[in-house]
Amino acid sequence: MLSLAAPRQIGAVHTAGRRLHQMIREEVIVSLKVKPLHPLFVAEVTDLDLRLPARPGERDAIERVMDEYAVSVLRDQMIDDEQQIRFTRLYGDLEVQPEVRSKVIVETDNPRIRHREIFDVSNLDQAGRVLPRNDDRRSYALGNQLWHTDSSFRQLSATYSMLSARVVPPVGGDTEFIDTRAVYDALPQAMKTRIEGLVAEHSIWRSRSLYGGYQPTAEELRVRPPAQHPLVRRHPGSGRKALYIARHISLIVGWPVADGQALIDELIAFATRPQFVYTHKWRVGDLVIWDNRCTMHRATPFDDMGLPRDMRRTTVREKLAVAAEIG
């Protein structure tokens, strides 16, 4: 079992983050209020209205907050899909929603989702009805309750994801987050040495097979093959090293499958200790931004057969694949 590194290591990183925060407050053109929500990461950011075009300096100000905190909570953002897409595009090209086997167009004059840039992270069909228990879309979505990072199963993976809460259940349906830079900092040196330079293979079908029982079609297997990424990445905005782990990982390249899965199990067990986890309890109008290059997250259960939950995600694609870094 892994044990924590000395607490002062985490504290030193957090102190450095505070200094960066002071630089942010002094240098940006726009004035953003930033309130930390967890000892290691996550901040609530106010004085923003995403219904309006971005003000000069706003894009860069948010990016600097993200480089420090990895997850940003923006309250009371009563945006529509077009406004969410416009804001997300400030940070790069957007991913588009893939076809899922049973996803069909519902004949309705007012479909919920009209844009492929919007990922439907809901328990509703296009007509706004709660999905039945045996619907493939429900089975597919259950895999989101496993720890993951968005689009690690793509060779060009993701930078920012933005999730907008349109309808939330009164109980449950929270989202948990972890900053994998803080996790890496806390790893024993022996483990850091062991995992440096390793490459993991990620597949969306790995996580879906672990939970939910979704069965991909042959066409889905063909168009969404596995991707390989280094297990340790240097986060470009902060310069800190981060674990790049997820339940999408099926193996470590060059290792016996069982050994690779045992290593990932050990790392995820270490990363998900309570001191690393922030739980976000959603309110309507919340927009939460996270950096997939240095975080993991997962959905938590709710009464998805009886209560509607309408959540819509946009995701920015990485421009270049990341190579393994040695030393």
Q: In this structure, are residues 269 and 256 in contact, taking their beta carbons and an 8 Å threshold?
A: no
Q: What is the pLDDT of residue 108?
A: 63
Q: What is the pLDDT of residue 24?
A: 46
User: What is the domain partition of the chain in residue ranges?
Assistant: 7-317
Q: In this structure, are residues 280 and 289 in contact, taking their beta carbons and an 8 Å threshold?
A: no
Q: In this structure, are residues 159 and 216 in contact, taking their beta carbons and an 8 Å threshold?
A: no
Q: What digits encode the pLDDT tens for the residues 34-60?
A: 999 999 999 999 999 999 999 999 999
Please say if the pLDDT value at position 27 is more than 70: no
Buried b (16+ CB within 10 A) or exposed e, 307-323: bebbbbbbbbbbeeebe
- Just give the CATH number of 7-317: 3.60.130.10
Please say if the pLDDT value at position 18 is more than 60: no
**pTM over cut 0.75:** yes
Please say if the pLDDT value at position 252 is more than 80: yes
Confidence of residue 13 (pLDDT cuts 50, 70, 90): very low
Q: What digits encode the pLDDT tens for the residues 80-112?
A: 999 999 999 999 999 998 765 444 444 567 789
What is the CB-side half-sphere exposure of residue 98 using CA atoms within 13 A?
15
